[in-house]
Chains A and B, each alone.
Chain A
Amino acid sequence: MGKRILVTDDALFMRVTLKNILTQHGYEVVGEATNGRESVEMYKNLKPDLVTMDITMPEMDGISAVREIKKIDPNARIVMVTAMGQKNLVVEAIQAGAKDFIVKPFQPERVIESVQKLLGN
């Protein structure tokens, strides 16, 4: 049974791309959230092993969502996947509890390397 991952991005294209990369490497994408609020709700219900999180999204941004998820589960493993690579955002995301920060565009290997490091092979 593959490890279970929740993908969070407002862009359909990015959700499809991440899902393809992850499923091709044996991971199971158990949910696709389109904003931070949805991601928090889905985290409660699905209890995934890992979450990918965009930053700029409607309703609730990714960094606020990381804080909310960490309140529910301090051990949550969250990887930021975003086009916004400013130092202040990286610092803010890591302080909020994200474990890694991937800047778009990315090579598929970069995502897999990060997920493997956090979940073990």
Chain B
Amino acid sequence: MMRVEYINPFVSAAYSVLEMVLGIEPEKGQLAMRPGIFTTQQCNIVMGVTGKVEGSVIYGMSLTTADKIASHMIGQPIRTFDALAASAIAELGNMITGNAASLLSEKGYTCQISPPSIIRGSNVKISTVNTPALVVPILLGDFGFIEINVSLQERK
């Protein structure tokens, strides 16, 4: 059973991390439920979570948003989405998920995170198999938006 309370730590963590990293005030969009298979955004950070809750968290954004965020983090415009840009975007996912894991642990759901992977491409379908994902868009002003897909279950 996917519980709504699992997504709140990710929203709180995303707010604080994005505010600090991008220097903007993020806004929350409409929460929605997704089936086990969905079409992703063009650039996705995929993170694994293990422990008392387990599953995956996918941060999706457009290529333009990824370029803008990476440029801001690196401190200069990026010409191509190279290893440094990918690493910056991956680190964003790592920071949000790491902070969210701390918040989950405070609620008693101790968990660890696995290193991020980046998936880029159009019309990519991702299946979270048996756990439907809850999705919240986080609006980032001129940067665009990031969708947070949280697909977690309590470990039996």
Where the two chains meet, the residues of A that have a C-beta atom closer than 8 Å to any C-beta of B are 10-14, 16, 56-58, 82-88, 103-105, 107
* Contact call B91/A14, Cβ cutoff below 8 A: yes
- Interface of A, secondary structure class, is loop
Which chain B residues border A87 with CB–CB below 8 Å? 105
Nearest-neighbour CB distance to chain A for B140, whole angstroms, equals: 15
Which chain A residues border B94 with CB–CB below 8 Å? 11, 56, 83, 104
Question: How many contacts A-B (CB < 8 Å)?
Answer: 61
User: Is B88 engaged at the interface, CB distance under 8 Å to the other chain?
Assistant: yes
6 further contact pairs, Cβ within 8 A, besides A11-B87, A13-B91, A83-B98: A12-B87, A56-B114, A58-B115, A82-B98, A86-B102, A104-B95
Nearest-neighbour CB distance to chain A for B110, whole angstroms, equals: 7
Which chain B residues border A11 with CB–CB below 8 Å? 87, 90-91, 94
B55-97 vs A, Cβ < 8 Å mask (1 yes, 0 no): 0000000000000000001100000000110011011001101
Partner of B95, one of A10, A58, A86, A105: A105
User: Is B119 engaged at the interface, CB distance under 8 Å to the other chain?
Assistant: no
Please report the total number of B residues contacting A with Cβ < 8 Å: 24
Partner of B84, one of A12, A57, A103, A104: A12
Given A11-B94, A56-B113, is A85 in contact with B102 using a C-beta cutoff of 8 Å? yes
Which chain B residues border A84 with CB–CB below 8 Å? 98, 101-102, 112-113
* Contact call B99/A16, Cβ cutoff below 8 A: no
Nearest-neighbour CB distance to chain A for B89, whole angstroms, equals: 8
Q: How far is the CA of A10 from the CA of B101 in the complex (A)?
A: 19
